[in-house]
Chains A and B, each alone.
Chain A
Amino acid sequence: MDQVAQAMAHFASVSVLIALIIGSVWGTIAGALPGIGTVAALVVALPFAFGMSTEASIALFLGIYVTSVYGGSISAILINTPGTPQSAATVLDGYPMAKAGKADLAIGWATFSSLVGGVFSLVVLILAAPLLARVSVAFGPAAIFAIIVFALTCIAWVSAGSTTKGLLAGVIGLWLTTIGTDDLTGYTRFDFGQPALMGGLSLIPVLIGIFALAEVFHRAGRYFAAKPPDVSNVGFRMPALGEITLRMPQFFRASVIGTFIGILPGTGATAATFVSYSDLRRSSPRRENFGKGEPDGLVASETANNAVTGGALIPTLALGIPGDGGTVVLLGVLTIQGLTPGFDLAQNNPHILTGVFLLILVANFIMFGLGALGSRIFAKILAMPEPLLMAFIMLFSFVGAFVVRGNPVDVIICAVAGVAGVILRFAKYPVAPIVIGMALGTTFEGKLRQGMISAQGDFFEFISDPIALGVLGLTAAFIAAPIIGSRRSGERND
Chain B
Amino acid sequence: MMKQRVTSAGLVAGLVLTASAAFAEYPERTINMLVPFGAGGGTDVPARFFAAEMEGILGQNIVVSNVEGAGGTVGATQLSQADANGYNLGFLPVGTTTTQPHLKRTSYNADSWTPICMVSQGPFYLVVAEDSPIKTVDDYVAMANGDGLKFAGAGPGSMAHVAQLTLDNKLGVTTRYIPTKGGGDIATEINGGRADATAWFADFGTKFGWRALAILSDQRSAQHPDVPTLAELGHDAQVSVWFGFFTQAGTPDDVVNTLSEACAKAVEADSFKENMAGANRLVRYMGTEEFGPFFRTAFELNGKLLEDAGLIK
A343 interface neighbour in B38, B176, B183, B207, Cβ under 8 Å: B207
Within 8 Å by CB of A320, from B66, B150, B208, B311, lies B208
Residues from 151 to 186 in A contacting B, C-beta threshold 8 Å: 180-181, 183-186
B contact residues around A343 at 8 Å (CB): 205-209
Give which listed residue, B64, B179, B192, B311, contacts A184 with CB less than 8 A.
B179
CB neighbours (8 Å) of A198 from chain B are: 69-70, 73-74, 77, 104
- The reply on B191 being an interface residue by CB < 8 A is yes
Q: Which of B179-214 contact A (CB under 8 A)?
A: 179-185, 187-189, 191-192, 194-195, 203, 205-209
Q: Do the beta carbons of B279 and A450 come within 8 Å of each other?
A: no
What is the bound-complex CA distance between A266 and B184, given in angstroms? 8
Which residues of chain B from 47 to 83 have a CB within 8 Å of any chain A CB? 48-49, 52, 64-71, 73-75, 77-78
B101 within 8 A of A: no
- Are B192 and A328 in contact (CB-based, < 8 A)? no
Determine whether the beta carbon of A342 is less than 8 Å from that of B208. Answer: yes
CB–CB B192/A341 < 8 A: no
Across the interface, name the chain A residue whose C-beta is closest to B186. Answer: A321
- Size class of the B contact interface (CB-based, 8 Å): 35 or more
**A184-B40 in contact (CB<8A):** no
Q: In the complex, how many angstroms separate the beta carbon of B127 from the nearest chain A beta carbon?
A: 13
Minimum C-beta distance from B61 to chain A (A):
10
B39 interface residue per 8 A CB criterion: yes
**Judging by beta carbons under 8 Å apart, are A338 and B67 in contact?**
no
Does A43 make an interface contact (CB < 8 A)?
Answer: yes
> Is there a chain B Cβ closer than 8 Å to A374's Cβ?
no
Q: How many A-B residue pairs have CB under 8 A?
A: 168
| Contact partners of A315 in chain B: CB under 8 A | 184
Contacts of A186 in B (CB 8 A): 71, 103-104, 155-157, 311
Q: Is B278 an interface residue (CB 8 A)?
A: yes
How many whole Å from B67's CB to the nearest CB in chain A?
4
Tell me the smallest distance from the CB of A340 to a CB of chain B, in Å.
5
Interface string of A117-155 (1 = CB under 8 A from B): 000000000000000000011111100000000000000
- B70 near A405 with CB under 8 A, answer no
Interface residues of A (CB under 8 A from B): 39, 42-43, 46-47, 50, 136-141, 180-181, 183-186, 188, 195, 198-200, 265-266, 315, 319-322, 328-333, 335-344, 405-407, 446, 450, 453-454, 456
Interface residue ranges, B against A (CB under 8 Å)? 38-41, 44-45, 48-49, 52, 64-71, 73-75, 77-78, 103-104, 107, 150, 154-157, 176, 178-185, 187-189, 191-192, 194-195, 203, 205-209, 274-275, 277-280, 311
| 25 sample A-B contacts, Cβ–Cβ < 8 Å, listed by A number | A47-B64, A50-B48, A140-B189, A180-B69, A181-B104, A183-B181, A184-B156, A184-B180, A185-B156, A186-B104, A188-B70, A198-B73, A200-B69, A265-B187, A322-B183, A332-B45, A335-B40, A335-B279, A336-B48, A336-B275, A343-B205, A405-B66, A450-B181, A453-B178, A454-B195
